[in-house]
């Protein structure tokens, strides 16, 4: 029965059938992100053999490994971007993609995220932001909305969340966009753009976690969280005209930057050539 269902899915060739069905909780947005990524790869006709997909630790890290059928690295907590940087420097012709969660990439791995953007290394990061530490019990995260409840902020969260996309854009990334799992078609198009950018690209996906976040914040059903996303999403163009207090509790969506900047690996290889020429080592 399962094989019949999988055979009807047009993008099954991009997935590891032996790993299905997924271990993701019912209603998790991870499946939407996996589907969007597969759609983008298919739309661009990228050969999975030309991809290296890297993940860290957490629920969202499972999107790439074990489910996507490509060379994957399932790395240590918070270090996915560091591993991806090494892969890109060593194998510059590969498309290197990181798929992991907000706790892994923006909290424990936050420094790697900022400095990869600053260096503008040619990797694509798909950061799945479910606003909570989902896998470890629903603890408050740096991305948890102000006033939200978690296991470690049972009365309410008194911290303001990190604005990931705005921070990465300010750090120097070539391309940055944010969508929610309720904006699937826009998400697919942004992933396509990110995969074609020469430089560091980030696509932040605000995603539902009904099991850990939703049920503690009066949204037990996945559909309730999706409706919450849609109701509170504000396009970038409109957000620029709004006051900070008006944007409290809103999800600013769209493209934040799309620009050309010198790329790290290209500049590194130029430097290597210059040094070799200076010392008469060129061609050796």
**Domains with residue ranges and CATH for the chain:** 27-279 (3.40.50.970)
Q: What is the pLDDT of residues 178-189, one digit of tens each?
A: 999 999 999 999
Residues 105-132: what's their mean pLDDT?
97
pTM: 0.96
User: What pLDDT is stored for residue 3 in this prediction?
Assistant: 62
Residues 5-10: what's their mean pLDDT?
79
C-beta separation of 204 from 21 below 8 A:
no
User: What pLDDT is stored for residue 2 in this prediction?
Assistant: 57
The mean pLDDT value of the chain amounts to 95
The model's confidence at residue 8, banded by pLDDT at 50, 70 and 90, is confident
The model's confidence at residue 155, banded by pLDDT at 50, 70 and 90, is very high
User: For residue 1, is pLDDT > 60?
Assistant: no
Tell me phi and psi for residue 71, to 5 degrees.
-70, 125
Cα separations in angstroms, 169 against 21, 68, 117, 118:
36, 28, 8, 9
User: What pLDDT is stored for residue 281 in this prediction?
Assistant: 87
User: What pLDDT is stored for residue 5 in this prediction?
Assistant: 67
Q: Where are the beta strands (DSSP E) in 67-146?
A: 71-74, 95-101, 124-129
User: For residue 259, is pLDDT > 60?
Assistant: yes
The model's confidence at residue 110, banded by pLDDT at 50, 70 and 90, is very high
Cα separations in angstroms, 84 against 88, 134, 182, 268:
6, 24, 28, 16
Residues 110-130: what's their mean pLDDT?
98
Peptide bond into 66 cis (omega under 30): yes
User: What pLDDT is stored for residue 104 in this prediction?
Assistant: 96
Q: What is the pLDDT of residues 47-74, one digit of tens each?
A: 999 999 999 999 999 999 999 999 999 9
């Amino acid at each position: 029965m399962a094989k019949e269902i999988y055979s009807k899915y047009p993008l099954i060739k991009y997935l590891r059938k032996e790993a299905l069905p997924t271990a993701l909780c019912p209603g998790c947005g991870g499946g939407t992100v996996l589907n969007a990524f597969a759609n983008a790869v298919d739309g661009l006709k990228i050969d999975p053999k030309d991809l290296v997909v890297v993940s860290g630790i957490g629920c969202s890290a499972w999107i790439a490994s074990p489910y996507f059928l490509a060379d994957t690295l399932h790395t240590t907590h918070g270090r996915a971007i560091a591993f991806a940087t090494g892969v890109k420097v060593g194998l510059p012709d590969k498309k290197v993609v990181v798929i992991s969660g907000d706790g892994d990439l923006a909290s424990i791995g936050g420094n790697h995220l900022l400095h990869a953007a600053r260096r503008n290394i040619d990797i694509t990061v798909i950061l799945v932001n479910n606003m909570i530490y989902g896998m470890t019990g629903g603890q408050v995260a740096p991305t948890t909305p102000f006033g939200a409840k978690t296991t470690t902020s049972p009365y309410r969260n008194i911290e303001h969340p990190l604005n990931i996309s705005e921070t990465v854009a300010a750090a120097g990334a070539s391309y940055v966009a944010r969508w929610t799992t309720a904006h699937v078609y826009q998400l697919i198009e942004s992933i396509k753009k990110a995969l074609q950018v020469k430089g560091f690209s980030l696509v932040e996906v605000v995603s539902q976690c009904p099991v850990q976040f939703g049920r503690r914040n009066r949204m037990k059903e996945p559909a309730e969280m999706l409706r919450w996303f849609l109701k509170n999403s504000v396009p970038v163009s409109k957000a620029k005209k709004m006051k900070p207090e008006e944007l409290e509790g809103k999800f600013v969506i769209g493209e934040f930057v799309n620009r050309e900047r010198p790329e790290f690996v290209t500049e590194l290889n130029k430097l290597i050539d210059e040094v070799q020429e200076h010392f008469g080592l060129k061609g050796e």
